[in-house]
Amino acid sequence: MTTSPHAYGKTGIWLIGARGSVATTATVGLAAISAGLAEATGCVTEQEHFGGVALPNFADFVVGGHDISDVCMAKRAEALVESGMLPLHLVESVRPQLVEADQRVRPGYNPAQKSESQAEVARRLAKDILDFKDSNRLERVIVLDVASTEAPVQPIAEFTDAHLLLTALEDPARSVLPPSSVSAYAAALAGSPYVCFTPSTAFNVPALRELAARHHVPTAGQDGKTGQTWLRSVLAPAFAARGLRVLSWAGTNLLGGGDGATLADPQAVSGKLQSKNRGLQELTGGAVTPLHIDNVQDLGETKVAWDHVNVEGFLGSRLTLQTTWSAYDSMLAAPMVLDLSRLMALAHAAGEEGHVGALGFFFKDPWGSDEHSFANQTHNLLEWAKNASATLGTGTGSLDQQ
């Protein structure tokens, strides 16, 4: 494991959606890796060429979070064992750590049960984060949104006027922001770096971004690029580098689990579909890109994605590429959650503020960057991480950075 020359102290990981599949898997994995029971396969930051980058050790992380579900992490982990995704022995070995982490989970913002103003909610959520920081003596807390995908929202006047927005937020009769945005705001209020791993609205509200900017935290997003979209961001630039012209790129996703159930809702899925297609459109210069997501519960935690690419080559000839991807979705997401926690700790320590574009590597719809090519993103990520590391002090610890 990377040992860092920079003294990070202890770092908190605050998961919005802490009892979900991705969050539980990340927590199991973190405990297993810290205990030396598993290697950090799938963690980008564990690769050799990240050797010179100053990052917190896995063992120095503490997990907590928000959720609106009553099913505790240990129960969720058992269900993931049942589905064949998590190995039983590993979950058994880290059960104490799971139980501990779950005791740090606080009730999230459930708009169905709302009575306070959204500003009060945000302050309550921020207080949860700060309490977590204090009681665990953490240098900083990285907040990551891994909650259920929300439906996209219609923009209103408040979204572009910070003053109007503030007023509306204080009004207990109104609910102008979707939950993801309230949580993102809470992170800013708590002075925490914030990562949006979902396609939900979050900071895609200009006025909210303006409010958040006052808290000088780094942010990264959006929507983890784990499977099919990742593959597309690898392949599409390669076709272009060969001078081949993608005419159409049609795709289908089959998935079960909690995410599958959520995305069965046509409202919720529309945000995901947009997020998935945006990069491909850019990388292909506007090919025909029909895309579907189907909820197929008998697949359990497995996601299967099929792509059919029709390409024009020399003298108008055609070539086709088909890909079939089959993976446990959360197993791809969880190591990224750990990578992002480490890299956001670095960003924070290095004094970054606002969207960290170089973390676009991890996202379908990168905040602060227009780069969708995975090869270029790979290059940019490492450059950024090395530069950020170089700005850190080494001896005196991360306290100086705060």
C-alpha span between 398 and 402 (Å, rounded): 7
* Residue 237 binds to Na ion (criterion: CB under 5 A): no
Q: Which of 69, 192, 222, 295 binds ligand NAD (CB under 6 A)?
A: 69
* Residue 108 binds to Na ion (criterion: CB under 5 A): no
C-alpha span between 277 and 289 (Å, rounded): 7
Instruction: Summarize the chain as % helix, strand, coil (round to 5).
Output: 50, 20, 35
Picked from Na ion, ligand NAD, its own copies, none, the partner binding residue 236 (CB below 5 to 8 A depending on kind) is none
Picked from Na ion, its own copies, ligand NAD, none, the partner binding residue 366 (CB below 5 to 8 A depending on kind) is Na ion
Residues 353-382 that bind Na ion (CB under 5 A): 366
Picked from ligand NAD, Na ion, its own copies, none, the partner binding residue 148 (CB below 5 to 8 A depending on kind) is ligand NAD
Cβ proximity to ligand NAD: between 186 and 211 the closer is 186
For residue 155, what are its two tokens? 């923009």
Cβ proximity to ligand NAD: between 49 and 292 the closer is 292
Secondary structure of residue 386 in the 3-state scheme: helix
- What residue spans of 190-328 are helical by DSSP H? 206-213, 228-241, 257-263, 266-284
Picked from Na ion, its own copies, ligand NAD, none, the partner binding residue 80 (CB below 5 to 8 A depending on kind) is none
Secondary structure of residue 70 in the 3-state scheme: coil
Q: Which stretch binds ligand NAD (CB under 6 A): 53-61, 106-114, 161-169, 234-242?
A: 106-114
Residues 181-210 that bind Na ion (CB under 5 A): none
C-alpha span between 58 and 80 (Å, rounded): 23
CA angle 234, 236, 242 (to 5 degrees): 110
Residue 336 C-beta-side C-alpha neighbours within 13 Å: 28
Q: What's the min distance (Å) between Cβ of 387 and ligand NAD? A: 27
Question: What is the per-residue binding string for ligand NAD in 143-182, x denoting contact by CB under 6 A?
Answer: ---xxxx-----------------------------x---
Residues 184-223 that bind ligand NAD (CB under 6 A): 197-198, 223
* Residue 221 binds to Na ion (criterion: CB under 5 A): no
Buried b (16+ CB within 10 A) or exposed e, 351-387: ebebbbbbbbbbbbbbbebebbbbeebeebbbebbee
Element counts in the chain: helices (H) and strands (E): 13, 11
* Residue 12 binds to ligand NAD (criterion: CB under 6 A): no
Residues within the interface to ligand NAD (CB under 6 A) = 16-17, 19-22, 66-69, 108-110, 146-149, 179, 197-198, 223-224, 226, 257-259, 262, 329-330, 332-333
Residues within the interface to Na ion (CB under 5 A) = 366
